[in-house]
Every structure is written in structure tokens, then in C-alpha cells.
A and B are shown apart, each in its own frame.
Chain A
Amino acid sequence: MIRNVHLIAVRINRQFLRDRRFLGLSLIVPLLLMLLIKYVFESLPGLARLGVHISDYSILLAAYLVHFLAYILSTIVLVRDRVTGTLARMFVYGYRRREIVLGYVAGYSTIAAVQTALVLILTKYLFDIKLASDIVAIVMTVLALAVVSVGLGVFISNFARNEGQVFPFVPMVIIPSALLSGIAIPIPDLPQVLQWCSYLVPLRYAVDVLRGVVLENRSFFDELTPFFVLVGVGAALLASASLSLRERE
């Protein structure tokens, strides 16, 4: 199994490196978006008067960006594989469902890891924040979130027959992630029903860890519970993606 997972991950990364335009966009767009966020929010004088400093939220926004891009990327590419027939060919050539799901997660998580590293480096310098003590917690959390996002993308892609059908699923994940994860509105400020709903949003657990470590100066060990829930959500998504991946039409 590991050999086939490795073959798929290598193939994905090889394709990614060959497609220079896609590679450039995937790596440069998150950086440009972080720049945009900085300049838009810094140009709002009202925020500073309210005591809101965008630099405090920069890591949370970076995590959101990684989540969004990794999710979209993995959803579209697996659907493309289904449309072009390469997914069916993989099945006929001996690849199993779990190998394909894990192979995609391994392949796209590598790409997401590079995205994560670039975004975190830019965030650190752009917002002039100190990450020295938190860096392990932040990197591990954002990487776990990237894997969860890829797993979510693979899972969602099972319900789309073509690239066009992917688009309705984009806001279905991205908007609840923005509103119910605790990035924009602290979860205790939400109505009770929405607080319960927030448990269904994977980004919430990453935000819990990052809020604790970055904004509230707690140690990573204090935030292990949401971190392991995030890992558990990732494992559940991968299992669901594997079970729901249609091998036979």
C-alpha cells in the first residue's frame, strides 16, 4: 500500500512542478492575498480605535487561506481525474481506493506544506510578529489543517461529476468556515445553535489552538485537546473519503 501511495504522491508533485503557471499561482496568490489583507485592514482607522490589531489575527487568516486553497485545489484536481478517465484507469491498473485517497493527501499536503511555509514566513515579516516560541505549535496545527482540508476536498469531490459541480460546494465549506470557526466572531458570542454547529467546522479546532497559542499566550500542551480533535477530524474525513470514493459507476 505504501508503495502505491508514494507513486501517486510523486506523480502529483511531478505534475505540479511541470505546470509552471499553476505552480506560480498556487504559491504567489496566497502571498498576494496576505498583502491585500494587511493593506485593507490597516487602512481602516476605526479598527485601531476599537483596539483591534490585524497583526493579532494574521496567523488565523493565514490558516484560513491555507484551508481554503488546499480544499479547492484537491477538490478540483480529483474531479478532473474522474472526468478525464485517469481515475478509472488507476483502478483498472491495480490502485485501491484507500491508496488513491492517501496518495492524493500525501501529494497535495506536500504542496500545502510549501504554501503554509511561505504564508507563515510572509505573515511573520509583514505583520512583524514574534513566532519563535510558538513556531512548532503553529506549523503543526496549520499542517494538520492542510491535511484536513485536502481530506475534505477529496471527500467533497466524490459528490461532483464534473468541475462545474464543484463550485456549489465551495461556499458550502468556505462561508461556514469564515463565520463559525472563531476567526471573525469569537465562538462564545455566537447564538447557542451556531455554537453547536461550529463543532462541525474543522477550521474551528485549528483556530482554537492558534488563538490559545498566539493571542492568549498559552502553551501548545494546553491546546492539545483541539489539536487532537483536528487530527481526529482529519482521520474521519480520510476514512469517509476512502469509503465514498466511487470505484464503480
Chain B
Amino acid sequence: MSAASSTPPAIAIETLEKRYGDIRALKGARLTVAPGQIFGLVGPNGSGKTTLIKAICGILKPDRGSVRVLGLDAGHDRYAVRKRLGYMPQTPALYDDLSPAENLQFFGGGFRLPDLNDRLRAVLEFVQLWDRRNDPLFTFSGGMRQRISLACALLHDPELLILDEPTAWVDPALRQDFWDHFSELRSRGRTIFLSTNQMDEAMRCDQVTIILNGKVLVTETPESIHDRGKAKVTLDLSDARRTEEFANYEEELPRLLTEYGLGPQVKRISLKRQTLEEVILSLIGESIAGEEQSTESQSGKQAQP
């Protein structure tokens, strides 16, 4: 058996269910994250992204299903799991009256890091806030707090980083730095699991999961999700315009072009592929329509005598 095959998945989630009162936040979600990947979680607000992240971090008790993190049970072995993961929640979750250094010393203190001060300096320099290390956090902007929150998640150099919308409120230049750092962490074998609403970020992930209403719609590479999209080809002819939509334009485009023989009557050809965002939105739309249809047919069956 090879070493790679004996390495457990970084995250393995099976039929996870969670209910808050009448609301089913997770409805049998399942996914597997291979180690050493940047894994993106994409979905509209309220789709269950944060609930899923909390289950991975062992701060949510699922009603059903299992979550294994780095080969351990995220519930039963949560203390062992937490030492090996870094968590950045959606809101900064830091103490405003304290400085970045004090916040990091406090949270890092829980792990008893022997080189805490060196690590603290390294992560604060990375998020470019070392010079402001002693200022109270309430004087910081939203983006700066996010940076401190990320620094906190990186403090103990964890094997697995769980980041809930890490670049929200962060300016474009620093966002690029974050992504460069994520790539560098991946090259060192670290796994990064992040939720995002930015499609350019989803494109930079190795795998993307689309989650909707607590269910995983699809888990694929961003390229193959993008390839599910349609392409619109428009031919401007000398006397008309013809527009066709192709699900698989690479195979279907030659037929269209053969039909016109690419003669002088073809003045202009334009091809517009759906963006990843449009593909994801249409997948979500199709899923919602499918659910509505099945609900209607079920209620129709019940109404029949």
C-alpha cells in the first residue's frame, strides 16, 4: 500500500444533519477533502456553510452523520483535532479592548506554544500589522480585524486551516497576498478549507463544493464546474444574425461553422462562455426548480384519493 493511500482524508463528512428548531440547516451533507488541497465551499447565504464549518471544528453537535478530521472524530476526539486545525470564523471573534498581541497571546496561550512570541511576530508581520501590535483592536477597521483573525488562525502553524470567508472586507492587494500565502501553505502540505462568495477565489481552489439548503449539490474542480456552463455563439451574417447556445461548444461549434462553410457571408463570430458565477447560479436555480417540482408532485399525489 502506498503512503498516499494510507493517509486519511483531511475532512470526511457523511450524511450530516443539523436542525435548529424547525429549520434544517444541514440535510445529509457529505464531502471528502483530500490532504494538501485548497478546498472551496460556495453557496448562497443561509445554505449551511458556517454550520458545516462549525461541525468540522467540533463546536457543533450534529443530529446525525459523522465528521472525521485528519482521521479523527470531530466530536469525540475534538480536543486532539483542535490542536491540529486553525479556525477563522466569519466575524473576527476577538476582544476589542485588547491589542492584537494580547489577543494572540491569549488564544495562543490555550495551545501552550513554546515559541509563541516568535510565531506571534511572524503572523503579525505576514498580515502587515506588526507595527500596530499594541494598539487596541477597537481602533482597527473591519478589514484589519479580519487580518488579525487570520493571524490568529495561523498562529500554531496548523495542518488544516478552516476559514469562513477569510477575505471578506480585505482590500484587493492584501487579498492577493492571502492567496499567495494559501498557495505556499498548500505547497508545504497544509490543507485549506474555506468558504467564499468570490468566484475568482473559487477558481483558485483545487476542488469546489456547491452547497444549497444544507445539501451538497456538486463537488468538482472549478474547471469542470465551469465546463458545465453553456456557450452562446453568435454569427453575424451579411443579411442576418444567428445565435445558438451550446452545452458543449467545443464539439458543437464545428457543426455550426460547417453549415455556413465560413464563406464571405460570415462577417463576425462571437463566442461568450458562461462565467463560473453564472454556471453556479444556474446549477442552484436548476436544483431549486427540481425541488419545487418534486414538492408539487408529492403534494399532488397526496391530494389524489
Which A residues are within 8 Å of any B CB, using their own CB? 3-4, 7, 11, 14-15, 18-19, 84-86, 88-96, 247-249
Contacts and interface: CB of A to CB of B under 8 A. Distances in A.
B260 interface: no
B109 interface: yes
Given A4-B109, A14-B98, A94-B111, A89 B89 contact: yes
A85 B57 CA distance: 13
Interface residues of B, number: 30
Contact of B94 (A86, A88, A92): A86
Contacts of A93: 82, 107-108, 110-111
The interface residues of chain A, by DSSP majority, are classed as helix
A157 B106 CA distance: 22
Interface stretch (B58-66, B208-216, B233-241): B58-66
19 contacts: A3-B112, A14-B97, A14-B98, A15-B95, A15-B98, A85-B89, A85-B91, A88-B54, A89-B93, A89-B94, A89-B152, A91-B82, A94-B83, A94-B111, A94-B112, A95-B110, A248-B58, A248-B78, A249-B61
Contact of A11 (B58, B95, B108): B95
B87 interface: yes
B87 A92 contact: yes
A84 B112 CA distance: 24
The listed residue with most A CB atoms (<10 A of its CB), out of B57, B61, B94, B97, is B97
Interface of B: 54, 57-61, 75, 78-79, 82-83, 85, 87, 89, 91, 93-95, 97-98, 102, 106-112, 136, 152
Contact of B110 (A7, A84, A247): A7
A85 B106 contact: no
A96 B106 CA distance: 14
Given A14-B98, A14-B102, A91-B59, A85 B93 contact: yes
B249 to A, nearest CB: 46
Contact of B60 (A7, A18, A84, A249): A249
B147 to A, nearest CB: 16
Contacts of B82: 91-94
Contacts of B58: 91-92, 248
Contacts of A18: 97-98, 136
A249 B109 CA distance: 24
A91 B54 CA distance: 12
Contacts of B60: 248-249
Contacts of A91: 58-59, 82
Contact of A86 (B57, B59, B93): B93
